[in-house]
Amino acid sequence: MVKCRCGQVYSGVPEHLPVIGSGENRYPAKVIQQLLNKPGGTAHSGVPFGDAFLFTRRRYQSMKRMLSGIKPTGQLHLGNYIGALSKFVSYQDEYEMIAFIANLHCITVPQDPVELQKNLQDCVALYLACGLDPKKSTIFLQTDVKEHAQLGYILCCHTYMGELNRMTQFKDKQAHGEKNLSGGLYTYPSLMAADILIYDPDYVPVGEDQKQHVELTRDIAIRMNNRYGKLFKIPEPLVPKVGARIMSLTDPSKKMSKSDETNKGCIYLLDDLKTARKKIMGAKTDSLGIIKFDPENQPGVANLMQILSSLSDNRPMADIEAEFAGKGYGDFKRAVADKVCEELEMIQGRYNEIIASGMIEDVLYEGAAKARSLAAPKLETVQHAIGMEIISK
Ligand code: AMP
Ligand code: TRP
Protein backbone atom coordinates (compact mmCIF):
# COMPACT_ATOMS: atom_id res chain seq x y z
CA MET A 1 0.00 0.00 0.00
CA VAL A 2 1.34 3.42 -0.93
CA LYS A 3 0.13 6.75 0.40
CA CYS A 4 0.46 9.71 -1.90
CA ARG A 5 1.38 13.13 -0.46
CA CYS A 6 -2.10 14.38 -1.42
CA GLY A 7 -3.55 11.77 0.92
CA GLN A 8 -4.80 9.32 -1.70
CA VAL A 9 -3.94 5.72 -0.98
CA TYR A 10 -2.97 3.25 -3.66
CA SER A 11 -3.27 -0.41 -2.78
CA GLY A 12 -2.04 -3.58 -4.36
CA VAL A 13 1.28 -2.21 -5.48
CA PRO A 14 4.09 -4.57 -4.51
CA GLU A 15 6.88 -2.68 -2.77
CA HIS A 16 9.60 -4.40 -4.79
CA LEU A 17 8.60 -2.68 -8.03
CA PRO A 18 11.06 -0.23 -9.56
CA VAL A 19 11.00 3.12 -7.81
CA ILE A 20 11.28 6.62 -9.07
CA GLY A 21 12.31 9.79 -7.26
CA SER A 22 14.41 10.09 -4.14
CA GLY A 23 14.03 10.61 -0.38
CA GLU A 24 10.41 11.02 0.67
CA ASN A 25 9.46 11.22 -2.99
CA ARG A 26 10.49 7.63 -3.67
CA TYR A 27 7.48 5.79 -5.06
CA PRO A 28 7.01 2.62 -7.08
CA ALA A 29 7.06 3.33 -10.79
CA LYS A 30 3.76 1.49 -11.14
CA VAL A 31 1.99 4.14 -9.06
CA ILE A 32 3.42 6.83 -11.20
CA GLN A 33 2.40 4.93 -14.27
CA GLN A 34 -1.16 4.75 -12.94
CA LEU A 35 -1.19 8.48 -12.30
CA LEU A 36 0.19 9.27 -15.69
CA ASN A 37 -2.30 7.02 -17.41
CA LYS A 38 -5.16 8.99 -15.93
CA PRO A 39 -6.87 11.35 -18.35
CA GLY A 40 -4.89 14.57 -18.31
CA GLY A 41 -1.73 12.75 -17.27
CA THR A 42 -0.33 15.17 -14.75
CA ALA A 43 -3.65 16.62 -13.56
CA HIS A 44 -3.30 14.79 -10.26
CA SER A 45 -2.37 17.37 -7.62
CA GLY A 46 0.15 16.65 -4.90
CA VAL A 47 1.83 14.09 -7.12
CA PRO A 48 4.21 11.89 -5.18
CA PHE A 49 7.17 12.25 -7.47
CA GLY A 50 9.84 14.90 -7.96
CA ASP A 51 9.25 18.16 -9.75
CA ALA A 52 11.72 17.19 -12.41
CA PHE A 53 9.64 14.20 -13.39
CA LEU A 54 6.43 16.21 -13.43
CA PHE A 55 8.07 18.85 -15.53
CA THR A 56 9.44 16.20 -17.83
CA ARG A 57 6.12 14.48 -18.29
CA ARG A 58 4.34 17.73 -19.09
CA ARG A 59 7.01 18.65 -21.57
CA TYR A 60 6.92 15.29 -23.30
CA GLN A 61 3.21 14.84 -23.74
CA SER A 62 3.09 16.19 -27.27
CA MET A 63 6.63 15.40 -28.37
CA LYS A 64 7.96 12.62 -30.55
CA ARG A 65 10.52 10.46 -28.80
CA MET A 66 14.14 9.94 -29.78
CA LEU A 67 16.67 7.56 -28.34
CA SER A 68 20.36 6.96 -28.84
CA GLY A 69 23.44 5.70 -27.06
CA ILE A 70 27.20 5.77 -27.25
CA LYS A 71 29.47 3.03 -26.00
CA PRO A 72 32.36 4.35 -23.94
CA THR A 73 34.97 1.81 -25.09
CA GLY A 74 37.49 4.64 -25.08
CA GLN A 75 37.54 8.42 -25.07
CA LEU A 76 34.81 10.15 -27.07
CA HIS A 77 36.11 11.73 -30.26
CA LEU A 78 35.21 14.31 -32.85
CA GLY A 79 33.39 11.70 -34.98
CA ASN A 80 31.11 10.86 -32.03
CA TYR A 81 30.52 14.55 -31.46
CA ILE A 82 29.76 15.50 -35.05
CA GLY A 83 27.93 12.30 -36.06
CA ALA A 84 25.96 11.78 -32.88
CA LEU A 85 26.32 13.89 -29.72
CA SER A 86 25.93 17.35 -31.26
CA LYS A 87 22.82 16.09 -33.04
CA PHE A 88 21.31 14.78 -29.78
CA VAL A 89 21.81 18.25 -28.33
CA SER A 90 20.13 20.00 -31.22
CA TYR A 91 17.16 17.60 -31.07
CA GLN A 92 16.48 17.88 -27.34
CA ASP A 93 14.32 21.01 -27.64
CA GLU A 94 12.03 19.53 -30.22
CA TYR A 95 11.94 15.88 -29.15
CA GLU A 96 11.81 13.86 -25.99
CA MET A 97 15.45 12.76 -25.97
CA ILE A 98 16.63 9.61 -24.24
CA ALA A 99 20.44 9.44 -24.33
CA PHE A 100 22.14 6.60 -22.53
CA ILE A 101 25.64 5.27 -22.10
CA ALA A 102 25.97 1.76 -23.47
CA ASN A 103 28.23 0.26 -20.83
CA LEU A 104 26.98 -3.28 -21.51
CA HIS A 105 27.96 -2.92 -25.14
CA CYS A 106 31.43 -1.76 -24.30
CA ILE A 107 32.35 -4.97 -22.47
CA THR A 108 31.82 -6.95 -25.68
CA VAL A 109 35.55 -6.31 -26.12
CA PRO A 110 38.03 -6.61 -23.23
CA GLN A 111 38.25 -3.56 -20.96
CA ASP A 112 40.57 -2.51 -18.19
CA PRO A 113 38.26 -1.92 -15.15
CA VAL A 114 40.01 1.24 -13.94
CA GLU A 115 40.14 2.73 -17.40
CA LEU A 116 36.54 1.76 -18.11
CA GLN A 117 35.25 3.52 -15.02
CA LYS A 118 37.16 6.66 -15.92
CA ASN A 119 35.77 6.50 -19.47
CA LEU A 120 32.23 6.14 -18.12
CA GLN A 121 32.61 9.23 -15.92
CA ASP A 122 34.13 11.16 -18.78
CA CYS A 123 31.41 10.06 -21.13
CA VAL A 124 28.63 11.34 -18.83
CA ALA A 125 30.55 14.56 -18.21
CA LEU A 126 31.03 15.01 -21.95
CA TYR A 127 27.35 14.37 -22.68
CA LEU A 128 26.61 17.27 -20.35
CA ALA A 129 29.54 19.41 -21.50
CA CYS A 130 28.43 19.07 -25.12
CA GLY A 131 25.07 20.51 -24.13
CA LEU A 132 22.75 17.65 -23.17
CA ASP A 133 20.54 19.09 -20.47
CA PRO A 134 19.24 16.63 -17.85
CA LYS A 135 16.07 18.74 -17.51
CA LYS A 136 15.28 18.14 -21.15
CA SER A 137 16.91 14.76 -21.82
CA THR A 138 16.89 11.48 -19.93
CA ILE A 139 20.53 10.54 -19.34
CA PHE A 140 21.51 7.23 -17.72
CA LEU A 141 23.78 4.20 -17.69
CA GLN A 142 22.49 1.12 -19.47
CA THR A 143 23.31 -1.15 -16.49
CA ASP A 144 21.15 1.01 -14.18
CA VAL A 145 18.07 -0.10 -16.12
CA LYS A 146 18.30 -3.87 -15.95
CA GLU A 147 15.31 -4.31 -18.25
CA HIS A 148 17.62 -3.66 -21.24
CA ALA A 149 19.53 -6.88 -20.64
CA GLN A 150 16.41 -8.95 -20.04
CA LEU A 151 14.65 -7.72 -23.17
CA GLY A 152 17.99 -8.13 -24.97
CA TYR A 153 17.94 -11.84 -24.19
CA ILE A 154 14.33 -12.17 -25.34
CA LEU A 155 15.08 -10.38 -28.60
CA CYS A 156 18.21 -12.46 -29.11
CA CYS A 157 15.90 -15.48 -29.11
CA HIS A 158 13.98 -13.79 -31.94
CA THR A 159 17.04 -12.87 -34.01
CA TYR A 160 18.35 -15.28 -36.65
CA MET A 161 22.02 -16.22 -36.78
CA GLY A 162 21.92 -15.38 -40.49
CA GLU A 163 21.01 -11.81 -39.56
CA LEU A 164 23.81 -11.52 -37.01
CA ASN A 165 26.25 -12.99 -39.55
CA ARG A 166 25.42 -10.15 -41.94
CA MET A 167 26.27 -7.32 -39.52
CA THR A 168 29.27 -5.50 -40.97
CA GLN A 169 30.65 -4.37 -37.61
CA PHE A 170 31.10 -7.99 -36.53
CA LYS A 171 32.21 -9.15 -39.98
CA ASP A 172 34.89 -6.41 -40.10
CA LYS A 173 36.36 -7.49 -36.78
CA GLN A 174 36.35 -11.11 -37.92
CA ALA A 175 37.92 -10.24 -41.28
CA HIS A 176 40.57 -8.26 -39.40
CA GLY A 177 41.71 -11.59 -38.01
CA GLU A 178 40.91 -10.63 -34.41
CA LYS A 179 41.06 -13.71 -32.19
CA ASN A 180 38.76 -14.73 -29.32
CA LEU A 181 35.84 -12.52 -30.32
CA SER A 182 33.17 -12.79 -27.62
CA GLY A 183 29.64 -14.13 -27.91
CA GLY A 184 28.49 -10.76 -26.60
CA LEU A 185 30.01 -9.03 -29.60
CA TYR A 186 28.14 -11.36 -31.91
CA THR A 187 24.74 -10.91 -30.23
CA TYR A 188 25.26 -7.18 -29.58
CA PRO A 189 22.70 -6.11 -32.24
CA SER A 190 19.90 -7.89 -30.34
CA LEU A 191 20.79 -5.99 -27.17
CA MET A 192 20.90 -2.77 -29.18
CA ALA A 193 17.42 -3.61 -30.50
CA ALA A 194 16.24 -3.99 -26.90
CA ASP A 195 17.84 -0.65 -25.91
CA ILE A 196 15.70 0.93 -28.57
CA LEU A 197 12.43 -0.99 -28.56
CA ILE A 198 11.95 -0.91 -24.80
CA TYR A 199 11.25 2.86 -25.09
CA ASP A 200 9.11 2.86 -28.28
CA PRO A 201 11.01 5.80 -29.81
CA ASP A 202 9.99 7.38 -33.10
CA TYR A 203 13.57 8.10 -34.17
CA VAL A 204 17.07 6.82 -33.49
CA PRO A 205 19.76 9.38 -34.40
CA VAL A 206 23.03 7.58 -35.25
CA GLY A 207 26.11 7.86 -37.45
CA GLU A 208 26.25 5.93 -40.70
CA ASP A 209 27.92 2.85 -39.16
CA GLN A 210 24.94 2.14 -36.90
CA LYS A 211 22.23 2.35 -39.53
CA GLN A 212 22.41 -1.37 -40.25
CA HIS A 213 21.79 -2.16 -36.58
CA VAL A 214 18.72 0.09 -36.49
CA GLU A 215 17.42 -1.62 -39.62
CA LEU A 216 17.82 -5.01 -37.94
CA THR A 217 15.97 -3.55 -34.93
CA ARG A 218 13.07 -2.70 -37.22
CA ASP A 219 13.05 -6.25 -38.63
CA ILE A 220 13.01 -7.76 -35.13
CA ALA A 221 10.18 -5.41 -34.06
CA ILE A 222 8.09 -6.28 -37.10
CA ARG A 223 8.69 -10.00 -36.49
CA MET A 224 7.63 -9.71 -32.83
CA ASN A 225 4.57 -7.63 -33.71
CA ASN A 226 3.47 -10.19 -36.31
CA ARG A 227 3.90 -13.00 -33.85
CA TYR A 228 2.53 -11.56 -30.61
CA GLY A 229 0.36 -8.58 -31.60
CA LYS A 230 1.48 -4.98 -31.67
CA LEU A 231 4.20 -4.74 -29.05
CA PHE A 232 6.65 -2.23 -30.47
CA LYS A 233 6.67 1.02 -32.40
CA ILE A 234 8.82 0.69 -35.54
CA PRO A 235 11.63 3.27 -35.16
CA GLU A 236 13.30 5.24 -37.95
CA PRO A 237 17.08 5.68 -38.08
CA LEU A 238 18.08 9.32 -38.41
CA VAL A 239 21.47 9.72 -40.09
CA PRO A 240 22.80 13.28 -40.55
CA LYS A 241 23.33 14.52 -44.11
CA VAL A 242 26.72 16.00 -43.27
CA GLY A 243 29.11 14.41 -40.78
CA ALA A 244 27.56 10.94 -40.54
CA ARG A 245 30.97 9.45 -41.21
CA ILE A 246 33.98 11.50 -40.16
CA MET A 247 37.10 9.81 -41.46
CA SER A 248 40.51 9.22 -39.90
CA LEU A 249 42.89 12.16 -40.40
CA THR A 250 45.75 9.83 -41.29
CA ASP A 251 43.77 7.44 -43.51
CA PRO A 252 40.62 9.02 -44.96
CA SER A 253 39.47 5.64 -46.26
CA LYS A 254 38.75 4.55 -42.65
CA LYS A 255 36.30 6.11 -40.22
CA MET A 256 37.62 8.11 -37.29
CA SER A 257 37.52 5.63 -34.45
CA LYS A 258 38.47 5.07 -30.84
CA SER A 259 40.52 2.09 -31.95
CA ASP A 260 42.90 4.24 -33.99
CA GLU A 261 46.29 2.56 -33.43
CA THR A 262 48.50 5.64 -33.85
CA ASN A 263 46.06 8.11 -32.21
CA LYS A 264 47.09 10.64 -34.84
CA GLY A 265 44.02 10.13 -37.01
CA CYS A 266 41.53 10.68 -34.21
CA ILE A 267 40.81 13.89 -32.31
CA TYR A 268 39.56 13.15 -28.82
CA LEU A 269 37.24 15.66 -27.20
CA LEU A 270 39.66 15.86 -24.28
CA ASP A 271 42.82 16.24 -26.41
CA ASP A 272 44.74 19.34 -25.40
CA LEU A 273 44.35 22.07 -27.98
CA LYS A 274 47.96 21.93 -29.13
CA THR A 275 47.71 18.21 -29.84
CA ALA A 276 44.39 18.63 -31.67
CA ARG A 277 45.84 21.43 -33.82
CA LYS A 278 48.89 19.31 -34.65
CA LYS A 279 46.69 16.40 -35.74
CA ILE A 280 44.70 18.63 -38.12
CA MET A 281 47.80 20.29 -39.54
CA GLY A 282 49.25 16.82 -40.16
CA ALA A 283 46.06 15.45 -41.76
CA LYS A 284 46.56 13.53 -44.98
CA THR A 285 45.42 15.43 -48.07
CA ASP A 286 46.62 15.02 -51.69
CA SER A 287 48.82 16.69 -54.26
CA LEU A 288 46.05 18.44 -56.22
CA GLY A 289 46.25 21.61 -54.15
CA ILE A 290 42.61 22.69 -54.56
CA ILE A 291 39.90 22.90 -51.92
CA LYS A 292 36.98 21.14 -53.54
CA PHE A 293 34.35 18.79 -52.08
CA ASP A 294 35.15 15.61 -53.98
CA PRO A 295 35.12 12.68 -51.53
CA GLU A 296 36.11 10.20 -54.23
CA ASN A 297 39.22 11.92 -55.57
CA GLN A 298 40.10 14.13 -52.58
CA PRO A 299 38.91 12.18 -49.52
CA GLY A 300 41.25 13.91 -47.06
CA VAL A 301 40.20 17.42 -48.10
CA ALA A 302 36.52 16.40 -48.24
CA ASN A 303 36.79 15.05 -44.69
CA LEU A 304 38.25 18.30 -43.36
CA MET A 305 35.52 20.20 -45.22
CA GLN A 306 32.89 18.01 -43.55
CA ILE A 307 34.41 18.77 -40.16
CA LEU A 308 34.46 22.50 -40.86
CA SER A 309 30.95 22.53 -42.28
CA SER A 310 29.44 20.48 -39.42
CA LEU A 311 31.02 22.72 -36.80
CA SER A 312 29.73 25.83 -38.61
CA ASP A 313 25.98 25.05 -38.69
CA ASN A 314 26.30 22.88 -41.81
CA ARG A 315 27.80 25.66 -43.86
CA PRO A 316 27.41 24.76 -47.57
CA MET A 317 30.45 23.18 -49.22
CA ALA A 318 30.25 25.72 -52.10
CA ASP A 319 30.70 28.48 -49.53
CA ILE A 320 33.83 26.85 -48.15
CA GLU A 321 35.17 26.22 -51.67
CA ALA A 322 34.64 29.91 -52.51
CA GLU A 323 36.38 31.11 -49.34
CA PHE A 324 39.48 29.02 -50.04
CA ALA A 325 39.64 29.38 -53.83
CA GLY A 326 43.27 30.06 -54.76
CA LYS A 327 44.50 29.39 -51.20
CA GLY A 328 46.74 26.53 -50.12
CA TYR A 329 46.13 23.56 -47.82
CA GLY A 330 48.08 25.33 -45.03
CA ASP A 331 45.53 28.17 -44.79
CA PHE A 332 42.63 25.76 -45.08
CA LYS A 333 43.92 23.42 -42.37
CA ARG A 334 44.56 26.39 -40.08
CA ALA A 335 40.92 27.44 -40.45
CA VAL A 336 39.73 23.90 -39.67
CA ALA A 337 42.09 23.69 -36.68
CA ASP A 338 40.84 27.08 -35.37
CA LYS A 339 37.23 25.90 -35.55
CA VAL A 340 37.94 22.53 -33.94
CA CYS A 341 39.99 24.13 -31.14
CA GLU A 342 37.30 26.73 -30.49
CA GLU A 343 34.74 23.94 -30.06
CA LEU A 344 37.04 21.77 -27.93
CA GLU A 345 37.92 24.70 -25.67
CA MET A 346 34.24 25.33 -24.97
CA ILE A 347 33.51 21.65 -24.32
CA GLN A 348 36.57 21.18 -22.10
CA GLY A 349 35.75 24.29 -20.05
CA ARG A 350 32.32 22.91 -19.27
CA TYR A 351 33.70 19.41 -18.74
CA ASN A 352 36.04 20.70 -16.00
CA GLU A 353 33.18 22.51 -14.28
CA ILE A 354 30.98 19.41 -14.39
CA ILE A 355 33.67 17.13 -12.98
CA ALA A 356 34.31 19.66 -10.18
CA SER A 357 30.59 20.03 -9.40
CA GLY A 358 30.08 16.35 -8.53
CA MET A 359 26.67 16.41 -10.24
CA ILE A 360 27.16 13.25 -12.30
CA GLU A 361 25.69 10.80 -9.80
CA ASP A 362 22.52 12.87 -9.34
CA VAL A 363 22.03 13.13 -13.08
CA LEU A 364 22.42 9.36 -13.51
CA TYR A 365 20.18 8.55 -10.57
CA GLU A 366 17.35 10.71 -11.81
CA GLY A 367 17.81 9.61 -15.42
CA ALA A 368 17.76 5.91 -14.54
CA ALA A 369 14.61 6.35 -12.47
CA LYS A 370 12.83 8.03 -15.35
CA ALA A 371 14.04 5.42 -17.82
CA ARG A 372 13.02 2.56 -15.53
CA SER A 373 9.50 3.92 -15.22
CA LEU A 374 9.16 3.42 -18.98
CA ALA A 375 11.19 0.24 -19.39
CA ALA A 376 9.72 -1.86 -16.55
CA PRO A 377 6.08 -1.85 -17.72
CA LYS A 378 7.20 -2.43 -21.29
CA LEU A 379 9.19 -5.52 -20.35
CA GLU A 380 6.20 -6.84 -18.44
CA THR A 381 3.94 -6.32 -21.45
CA VAL A 382 6.36 -8.20 -23.69
CA GLN A 383 6.82 -11.10 -21.28
CA HIS A 384 3.10 -11.32 -20.80
CA ALA A 385 2.45 -11.36 -24.56
CA ILE A 386 4.98 -14.16 -25.02
CA GLY A 387 3.30 -16.14 -22.23
CA MET A 388 6.36 -16.16 -19.99
CA GLU A 389 4.74 -14.83 -16.83
CA ILE A 390 2.52 -16.37 -14.18
CA ILE A 391 2.48 -13.75 -11.44
CA SER A 392 0.75 -10.62 -12.62
CA LYS A 393 2.51 -7.54 -11.25
P1 AMP B 1 30.44 4.49 -30.87
O2 AMP B 1 31.65 5.30 -30.56
O3 AMP B 1 30.73 3.40 -31.85
O4 AMP B 1 29.67 4.07 -29.68
O5 AMP B 1 29.48 5.47 -31.65
C6 AMP B 1 28.61 6.36 -31.02
C7 AMP B 1 27.87 7.18 -32.04
O8 AMP B 1 28.82 7.99 -32.77
C9 AMP B 1 27.13 6.35 -33.09
O10 AMP B 1 25.93 7.00 -33.44
C11 AMP B 1 28.09 6.32 -34.25
O12 AMP B 1 27.43 6.13 -35.47
C13 AMP B 1 28.71 7.72 -34.16
N14 AMP B 1 30.06 7.71 -34.74
C15 AMP B 1 31.11 6.94 -34.35
N16 AMP B 1 32.20 7.18 -35.12
C17 AMP B 1 31.82 8.14 -36.00
C18 AMP B 1 32.50 8.80 -37.07
N19 AMP B 1 33.75 8.56 -37.37
N20 AMP B 1 31.78 9.73 -37.78
C21 AMP B 1 30.48 10.00 -37.49
N22 AMP B 1 29.79 9.39 -36.51
C23 AMP B 1 30.45 8.47 -35.77
N1 TRP C 1 25.87 0.38 -31.01
C2 TRP C 1 26.05 1.80 -30.83
C3 TRP C 1 27.47 2.18 -31.23
O4 TRP C 1 28.35 1.39 -31.26
C5 TRP C 1 25.77 2.23 -29.42
C6 TRP C 1 24.37 1.88 -29.07
C7 TRP C 1 23.99 0.88 -28.22
C8 TRP C 1 23.17 2.50 -29.54
N9 TRP C 1 22.65 0.82 -28.14
C10 TRP C 1 22.10 1.80 -28.93
C11 TRP C 1 22.94 3.55 -30.42
C12 TRP C 1 20.77 2.14 -29.19
C13 TRP C 1 21.59 3.88 -30.69
C14 TRP C 1 20.54 3.18 -30.08
O15 TRP C 1 27.68 3.32 -31.48
Tell me the CATH number at 283.
Answer: 1.10.240.10
% residues pLDDT > 90 (the chain) = 74
- Whether 309 and 229 map to the same domain: the answer is no
- Whether 96 and 236 map to the same domain: the answer is yes
- Whether 112 and 188 map to the same domain: the answer is yes
- Whether 178 and 106 map to the same domain: the answer is yes
The finding on whether 211 has its CB within 6 A of some atom of ligand 1 is no
Which protein residues are within 6 Å of ligand 2, measured from CB? 67-71, 102, 105, 192, 195-196, 204, 206, 210, 213
- Whether 304 and 168 map to the same domain: the answer is no
256, 260, 292, 337, 342 from 303: Cα distances, Å: 10, 16, 11, 13, 18
Q: Which of 59, 74, 94 represents a domain boundary (last residue)?
A: 59
In a domain, 258, yes or no: no
Average pLDDT over residues 37-44: 40
CB–CB of 86/130 below 8 Å? yes
In a domain, 185, yes or no: yes
Q: Is 148 helix (H, G, I), strand (E, B) or coil?
A: helix
CA 349 from centroid of its chain's CA atoms: 22
Give the tens place of pLDDT for each residue, 134-143: 999 999 999 9
Using the mean position of ligand 2's atoms as its centre, give its distance from the Cα of residue 102 in Å.
Answer: 7
The finding on whether 159 has its CB within 6 A of some atom of ligand 1 is no
Nearest-Å Rg of the Cα atoms of the chain is 23
Q: Which of 59, 76, 97 represents a domain boundary (last residue)?
A: 59
Kindly report the backbone phi and psi dihedral angles of residue 20, in degrees, each rounded to the nearest multiple of 5, phi listed first.
-135, 150
Q: What is the pLDDT of residue 249?
A: 97
Q: What is the pLDDT of residue 8?
A: 53
The finding on whether 373 has its CB within 6 A of some atom of ligand 1 is no
In this model, does residue 41 exceed pLDDT 80? no
The residue contributing the CA closest to ligand 2 atom 9 is 192
CB–CB of 88/68 below 8 Å? yes
Q: What is the pLDDT of residue 194?
A: 98
Task: Point out the catalytic residue in the list 146, 173, 264, 292.
Answer: 173
In this model, does residue 19 exceed pLDDT 70? no
CA 64 from centroid of its chain's CA atoms: 17
The finding on whether 204 has its CB within 6 A of some atom of ligand 1 is no
Using the mean position of ligand 2's atoms as its centre, give its distance from the Cα of residue 69 in Å.
Answer: 5
- Whether 152 and 12 map to the same domain: the answer is no
In this model, does residue 14 exceed pLDDT 60? no
In a domain, 38, yes or no: yes
**Which atom number of ligand 2 is nearest to the Cα of residue 70?**
5
Q: What is the pLDDT of residue 391?
A: 81
Q: Is 61 helix (H, G, I), strand (E, B) or coil?
A: coil
Domains in the chain: how many in total? 3
- Whether 149 and 82 map to the same domain: the answer is yes
Task: Point out the catalytic residue in the list 30, 71, 136, 258.
Answer: 258
Give the tens place of pLDDT for each residue, 180-231: 899 999 999 999 999 999 999 999 999 888 999 999 999 999 999 999 999 9
Neighbours of 146 (CB within 10 A): 15
| Residue closest to 291 by CA, chosen among 331, 336, 335, 321 | 321
In this model, does residue 9 exceed pLDDT 90? no
Q: What is the pLDDT of residue 36?
A: 52
> What mean pLDDT, rounded, does the chain reach?
87
In a domain, 263, yes or no: no
In this model, does residue 339 exceed pLDDT 70? yes
Beta bridge partners of 247: 255
Average pLDDT over residues 11-18: 44
DSSP state of 83: I
In a domain, 255, yes or no: no
Q: What is the pLDDT of residue 244?
A: 86
Give the tens place of pLDDT for each residue, 254-300: 999 987 778 899 999 999 999 999 999 999 999 999 999 999 999 99
| Residue closest to 261 by CA, chosen among 275, 272, 250 | 250
Is residue 255 annotated as a catalytic residue, yes or no?
yes
Domain that holds residue 315: 273-355
Neighbours of 381 (CB within 10 A): 14
Predicted structure pTM score: 0.83
In this model, does residue 42 exceed pLDDT 50? no
Is residue 211 annotated as a catalytic residue, yes or no?
no
In a domain, 28, yes or no: yes
- Whether 93 and 211 map to the same domain: the answer is yes
Determine which of 15-24, 239-248, 356-365 has the lowest per-residue pLDDT on average.
15-24
Starting from the CA of residue 195, give the closest ligand.
Answer: 2
In a domain, 325, yes or no: yes
Average pLDDT over residues 356-377: 95
Separation of alpha carbons 323 and 339, rounded Å? 15
- Whether 81 and 195 map to the same domain: the answer is yes
Separation of alpha carbons 338 and 101, rounded Å? 30
Torsion of CA 202, 89, 240, 259, to 10 degrees: -110
Give the tens place of pLDDT for each residue, 51-73: 444 444 545 567 899 999 999 88
**Which atom number of ligand 1 is nearest to the Cα of residue 205?**
10
- Whether 191 and 97 map to the same domain: the answer is yes
Starting from the CA of residue 130, give the closest ligand.
Answer: 1
Q: Which of 43, 59, 75 represents a domain boundary (last residue)?
A: 59
The residue contributing the CA closest to ligand 2 atom 8 is 69
Separation of alpha carbons 336 and 249, rounded Å? 12
Q: CATH number of the domain that 152 lies in?
A: 3.40.50.620
- Whether 46 and 114 map to the same domain: the answer is no
Q: What is the pLDDT of residue 32?
A: 55
Using the mean position of ligand 1's atoms as its centre, give its distance from the Cα of residue 208 in Å.
Answer: 8
Q: pLDDT band at residue 393, thresholds of 50, 70 and 90?
A: low
Separation of alpha carbons 183 and 96, rounded Å? 33
The finding on whether 303 has its CB within 6 A of some atom of ligand 1 is no
Q: pLDDT band at residue 355, thresholds of 50, 70 and 90?
A: very high
Using the mean position of ligand 2's atoms as its centre, give its distance from the Cα of residue 59 in Å.
Answer: 25
In a domain, 360, yes or no: no
CB–CB of 295/302 below 8 Å? yes
Using the mean position of ligand 1's atoms as its centre, give its distance from the Cα of residue 347 in Å.
Answer: 18
- Whether 143 and 118 map to the same domain: the answer is yes
Give the tens place of pLDDT for each residue, 78-134: 999 999 999 999 999 999 999 999 999 999 999 999 999 999 999 999 999 999 999
Distant-in-sequence, close-in-space partners of 326: CB < 8 Å, separation ≥ 6: none
Average pLDDT over residues 27-52: 45
Beta bridge partners of 10: 2
Using the mean position of ligand 2's atoms as its centre, give its distance from the Cα of residue 208 in Å.
Answer: 12
